[in-house]
Homo-oligomer: A and B are copies of this chain.
Amino acid sequence: MTSPTPAPSATPGTPRARATIADVAAEAGVSKATVSRYFNHRERLLSPDIAARVEAAIAKLAYVPSPMAQALSHGRSRLIGLVVADITNPYSVAVLRGAEKACQEAGYLVMLFNLGNDRERERAAIDALASYQVDGFILNTLGQGEGLADVNTLHGKPAVLVDRRHAGLAADFVALDNEAAMRETCAHLVEQGWQSLLYVTQPLQGVSSRLERTAAFRACIAAQGPKVRGEVLEIDAQQGEDALARALAEFREREGSKVRCAVVAGNSVVTLRVAAAVARLQWTFGQELGFVGFDDPEWAPLIRPGLSTVAQPTDAIGQRAAQCLLERIGGLQGAVRENLLPGTLIVRGSSLGV
């Protein structure tokens, strides 16, 4: 009680500092090294009785090693740096969720850096994360070769790319199998009798997922032969929703009233805007316009007659990304791996034939 040294007594109420390895060593009557070994080389080189004493001391003091100190000493921090292009995007969040979960389960914590779609900050993000000695990166960001010029940028840490590839960066990659999903989507629409397809996408801007989906769409159209027509429309955030409405109206007029027209939306952002435009036009999905959208927002069933969508296995993507990264952190060598996960076409009313 009157001891001048802050003895780690079990005084509740006193928010005493965390026990350190030295406290445990003293409590168990062994050296710090022994306590350290208890954690790192347990069975291999520790006698049972000593191990038991250490274990008891650890339990008594509720000792938990400091990851910061471990990071300083040993290099590893059990920290994963997660850079996301836009945390406003539900897709990113869904992936983040899966990744964070997998990391948590593996005893890693996630440090988050949101770019807010600002490419300039990408380099800063990685540097900031690296300064905390993260063991690796999960990157859902960019398209161009701007920030991530080369592996050097990553400070020698492993990384996994999610959803968006990067030319200069040889890293494991996890994403939706865009080509297969697009094939299934187009096949379904054609089968249901839609004859002219309009693929609406956000500006390509070198974003690999957008490029791939667009290319896959064009390939599908080409494969169908002359009986099916296809167009691509890029929209950007600037133009209002009536600009899109006009574009859709023109599309239908161009094709003529005999031709059944459908839209394929490149992601949930586009889906929202198309739905708004269609509402403004007073059209009904499945009638004036067929529809399938990539991503499956929770409100898709609410827009009559229900929006058909391609659901991404976001949780699996996130978990797979984390798993890939953890394997690399664990020392796995070898060629870059490519994980293309299958989407699920959810057919609701908007894509059905009349």
Does A112 lie at the interface of the complex (its beta carbon under 8 Å from any beta carbon of B)? yes
Cβ–Cβ < 8 Å partners of A206 in chain B? none
Cβ of A13 to closest chain B Cβ, rounded Å: 7
Measured between alpha carbons, how far is A96 from B152 in the docked complex, in Å?
31
Does A304 lie at the interface of the complex (its beta carbon under 8 Å from any beta carbon of B)? yes
Measured between alpha carbons, how far is A75 from B152 in the docked complex, in Å?
31
Does A87 lie at the interface of the complex (its beta carbon under 8 Å from any beta carbon of B)? yes
Does A113 lie at the interface of the complex (its beta carbon under 8 Å from any beta carbon of B)? yes
Q: State whether A133 touches B66 (Cβ < 8 A).
A: yes
Contact for A68 among B77, B96, B112, B129, CB less than 8 A? B77
Scoring A residues 267 to 302 as 1 if CB is less than 8 Å from chain B, else 0, what string do you get? Answer: 000001001100100000000000000000111011
Interface hit among A44-52, A103-111, A180-188, A207-215:
A103-111
A299 closest partner in B (C-beta):
B299
- A-B CB contact pairs (8 Å), 15 listed: A18-B130, A18-B131, A64-B131, A66-B72, A68-B71, A68-B72, A68-B132, A72-B72, A79-B132, A88-B93, A88-B97, A97-B116, A100-B112, A110-B113, A111-B111
Q: State whether B96 touches A104 (Cβ < 8 A).
A: no
Cβ of A130 to closest chain B Cβ, rounded Å: 8
| Copies of this chain, count | 2
**Residues of chain A from 64 to 108 with CB closer than 8 A to chain B in the complex:** 64-69, 71-72, 77, 79, 82, 87-88, 90, 93-94, 96-97, 100-101, 104
A124 closest partner in B (C-beta):
B104
Given A71-B68, A152-B12, do A276 and B301 touch, yes or no (CB 8 Å)?
Answer: yes
A62 closest partner in B (C-beta):
B127
**Residues of chain A from 108 to 148 with CB closer than 8 A to chain B in the complex:** 109-114, 116, 127-133
Count A interface residues, CB 8 Å. Answer: 54
Given A90-B90, A127-B64, A304-B279, do A112 and B114 touch, yes or no (CB 8 Å)?
Answer: no
Does A42 lie at the interface of the complex (its beta carbon under 8 Å from any beta carbon of B)? no
Measured between alpha carbons, how far is A97 from B94 in the docked complex, in Å?
15
Cβ of A129 to closest chain B Cβ, rounded Å: 7
Cβ–Cβ < 8 Å partners of A94 in chain B? 88
Q: State whether B133 touches A68 (Cβ < 8 A).
A: yes
Cβ–Cβ < 8 Å partners of A127 in chain B? 64
Contact for A101 among B77, B114, B279, CB less than 8 A? B114
Cβ–Cβ < 8 Å partners of A151 in chain B? 15
Does A337 lie at the interface of the complex (its beta carbon under 8 Å from any beta carbon of B)? no
Measured between alpha carbons, how far is A68 from B130 in the docked complex, in Å?
11
Does A37 lie at the interface of the complex (its beta carbon under 8 Å from any beta carbon of B)? no
